[in-house]
Amino acid sequence: MNQPVTPAGELMADYHAAWLPWEAFSAIGSRRSAIHGEGLLADTVRREVEDACARFGGATGADEDAELVLALYSWSALPAAAEKLRNSVAEDPGDEGFVLARQDGVTVLLAGGPAGLLYGFFHLVRLGEAAFGADHPPRTHRPVMRRRMLDHWDNVAVHDVMGQVERGYAGGSIFWSDGALTKDPARVRAYGRLLAASGANAVSVNNVNVHAVEARLLTDRLDDVASVADELRPYGIGVYLSVNFASPIMLGGLPSADPLDPAVQDWWARTTARVHRRIPDFGGYVVKADSEGQAGPFAYGRSHAEGANMLAAALAPYGGVVYWRAFVYNHRQDWRDRSTDRARAAYDHFAPLDGQFADAVILQVKYGPIDFQPREPVSPVLAAMPNTRLAVEVQVTQEYTGQQRHVCYLAPLWREVLGFRPWGASGATVADVAAGTGPGGSPGGGGGGLVAVSNVGDDRFWTGHPLAQANLYAFGRLAWDPSLDPSAILDEWIDLTFTRGADGVPDQLRHTLHAIMDDSWRTYEHYTAPLGVGFMVNPGDHYGPSIDGYEYTQWGTYHFADRNGIGVDRTQATGTGFTAQYPHPWSSTYESPHDCPDELLIFFHHVPYTHILHTGATVIQHIYDTHFAATQRVHEIRSQWQKIHNVGLVDSDLHARVAERLNEQARSAEEWRDQINSYFLRKSGISDALGRRIY
């Protein structure tokens, strides 16, 4: 566990530096610093500061005339400035927290533990010169969520249909290549460093659909997992493994995977003990059970709680947890059957089990009731299980939001979800639930935190679309502090990524990036499926429009458009009753087509095309207006990006990559506009009030 730390400079060799270019370290690197702490993460910080100083002329080591002091709160022999700060703050800021002050021209950071030292260091990188400006009193920083994890849907062996990375749009996996461990461990290290700088602290290293080869990571290929863990450890990133619930059969040769079978329990206990011997700081398991064909406890007549608790029992002795996904629904639905509602499924399956899950179980709940659509209501499961540790799951990978060919800055979406108050304006937020500070308190000793499906691959720009890096960054930041403003996070990301050192970022570039990204989620929403109904994507790859693509399928994702109207009636009064899964006041708000927010109207209601929205427009005119306007908007941002190039504000290779993607976005947006508009004109027979061209 104490292998030498790779010099940070070596981490930026063949790929884009993302939000950690050398220039971002100029403020720290040009000063004299003192560092007091020990352990692997302290060593990492020390090496980071040394590398920065080597490049920018600063120095480390001397307490005398240090302008920056980084120290553990508990360090015995602190320099005077740090001692003074410690005396002025009431309590240790906690393992991952830190206190920052500037007093008498010295910037002092006191961390509760080595992890806090690391996060504090990257906080200083973000601040840049601002960390060394006017004096200011102590400020304490702590993560709101203890658990901030990226799930990688990476296959070890290339999958026939899904390839190396399921729903991956940035090349191959950074962990695995053609059935083997990556040959580029430095890239894994660099990824861990980027994650640490964003605030994330965990990854799961393989796809939740665990195929035959991947299942073996748990046993005879455990060394591969250990190698990944070794690379990530210096940046405080814990490693988790997706496991197949049928592993006792697949790997152990047992006749059953029944969670109540003592032989099965014993197999998991022994197997997990072996994992922890090999990887002492192993995080735990991620499980997709009884979902879309994956094995699970149902085969043995057992509940999800019984299944999850068995794994929790194996992990708990080592402090591990199991993330148990709540993505369970009938994926063999009959489209003729309008009473079955996929939106209801997670609640129907899991809400009755509240209180039955062991402390070491985290129930991982997608933010919406369907599947990562650009617009969904918040999942009612998040308000239904006060006695269960709940994690909120989002997608950084843009499966349904343009697949990293479209610009779609997702922080505003996540911020809305995290800020949603299921119990009304004076109640707790979803972020409170995930942090373990919502109703019911903190079962299991803390909330489940925030989990995202990663958008990273072995692409030179990490995320395919260079601007999609901002989503990865914003995820970590929102997991750390869900109250952050998305636009402010974007500024942080711009400042780091495009900094020219002391000169900062040119105004024109900043303004252009805001113009392109701030509203890009809403723009995407507006040229795709209207008013919250979702899907309308091509089956299988989920890219591009196919309005009826899922309409007559088994997948439970319908829009029910006919010549008169569109939408899914999910009311209690006349529909599937899904609205009743929400607490007051949302159950009533969603129940009423007049109170329901416009953007979710046809998610909850089947309405005529002539229904009047709160905006005053009819549904059909809204469809036309948003599709014309949003497509126009894409053309505008493409022009703005071109102007940036003309004045040379970004590297030409990055510019070219974004420009190429914007061309595809423009083409695709036009295709969405024309197919949606033609489809609804053909069905409704109602012309555009403005007489624009509809084919």
Minimum distance from CB of 674 to a copy of itself (Å)?
A: 6
The residue within the footprint of a copy of itself, chosen from 295, 456, 547, 644 (CB under 8 A), is 547
399 is catalytic: yes
The residue within the footprint of a copy of itself, chosen from 438, 545, 567, 575 (CB under 8 A), is 545
Minimum distance from CB of 505 to a copy of itself (Å)?
A: 41
The label of the residue with tokens 């020990």 reads 38
Catalytic residue among 399, 495, 525, 625: 399
Pairing of strands 321-325, 176-177: unpaired
Shorter beta-carbon distance to a copy of itself: residue 95 or 674 = 674
The residue within the footprint of a copy of itself, chosen from 442, 610, 642, 678 (CB under 8 A), is 678
Shorter beta-carbon distance to a copy of itself: residue 507 or 695 = 695
The label of the residue with tokens 């920083």 reads 141
d(CA 224, CA 172): 17
Q: Is 563 a residue that touches a copy of itself (CB under 8 A)?
A: yes
The residue within the footprint of a copy of itself, chosen from 17, 506, 681, 688 (CB under 8 A), is 681
Angle of helix 411-419 relative to helix 469-480, nearest 10 degrees? 20
d(CA 647, CA 524): 28
Site for a copy of itself in 343-382 (CB under 8 A): none
Q: Is 688 a residue that touches a copy of itself (CB under 8 A)?
A: no
The residue within the footprint of a copy of itself, chosen from 298, 509, 683, 688 (CB under 8 A), is 683
Q: Is 340 a residue that touches a copy of itself (CB under 8 A)?
A: no
- Could you please report the per-residue DSSP string of 194-208? HHHHHT--EEE-S-S
Catalytic residue among 91, 292, 541, 595: 292
Distances (CA, A) of 166 to 154, 220, 224, 360: 6, 23, 20, 28
Minimum distance from CB of 205 to a copy of itself (Å)?
A: 28
Site for a copy of itself in 55-74 (CB under 8 A): none
64 is catalytic: no
d(CA 225, CA 214): 11
d(CA 374, CA 594): 22
Burial of residue 560 (CB within 10 Å: 0-12, 13-18, 19+) is middle
d(CA 619, CA 341): 23
The residue within the footprint of a copy of itself, chosen from 356, 546, 587, 589 (CB under 8 A), is 546
First vs last C-alpha separation in the chain:
63
d(CA 588, CA 585): 6
Minimum distance from CB of 626 to a copy of itself (Å)?
A: 19
Minimum distance from CB of 204 to a copy of itself (Å)?
A: 29
Q: Where on the phi/psi map is residue 423: left (φ > 0), alpha (ψ -120 to 50), or beta?
A: alpha
The residue within the footprint of a copy of itself, chosen from 22, 300, 335, 543 (CB under 8 A), is 335
Minimum distance from CB of 681 to a copy of itself (Å)?
A: 8
d(CA 175, CA 446): 29
Minimum distance from CB of 405 to a copy of itself (Å)?
A: 18
Shorter beta-carbon distance to a copy of itself: residue 240 or 624 = 624
The residue within the footprint of a copy of itself, chosen from 74, 508, 564, 687 (CB under 8 A), is 564
Shorter beta-carbon distance to a copy of itself: residue 643 or 682 = 682
Distances (CA, A) of 270 to 239, 266, 305, 651: 19, 6, 21, 53
Secondary element (H or E) of residue 390: strand 389-395
Burial of residue 11 (CB within 10 Å: 0-12, 13-18, 19+) is buried
Shorter beta-carbon distance to a copy of itself: residue 639 or 678 = 678
Site for a copy of itself in 85-114 (CB under 8 A): none
Distances (CA, A) of 334 to 157, 267, 294, 295, 556: 33, 38, 20, 22, 8
Between 638 and 677, how does the x/- string for binding to a copy of itself read (CB under 8 A)?
Answer: ---------------------------------x--xx--
Q: Is 562 a residue that touches a copy of itself (CB under 8 A)?
A: yes
Q: Is 685 a residue that touches a copy of itself (CB under 8 A)?
A: yes
Q: Is 548 a residue that touches a copy of itself (CB under 8 A)?
A: yes
d(CA 350, CA 381): 8
Minimum distance from CB of 563 to a copy of itself (Å)?
A: 4
Judged by CB under 8 A, the stretch of 77-85, 299-307, 368-376, 541-549 that binds a copy of itself is 541-549
Burial of residue 427 (CB within 10 Å: 0-12, 13-18, 19+) is middle
**Residue 344 has which token pair?**
């209801």
Q: 169: how many CB neighbours lie within 10 A of its CB? A: 20
Judged by CB under 8 A, the stretch of 38-46, 138-146, 207-215, 557-565 that binds a copy of itself is 557-565
Q: Indicate the DSSP class of residue 299.
A: G
Catalytic residue among 96, 166, 371, 459: 371
The residue within the footprint of a copy of itself, chosen from 552, 573, 616, 691 (CB under 8 A), is 552
Task: Tell me the catalytic residues.
Answer: 292, 371, 399
Give me the residues that bind a copy of itself (CB under 8 A), please.
Answer: 335-336, 545-549, 552, 561-564, 671, 674-675, 678-679, 681-685, 695
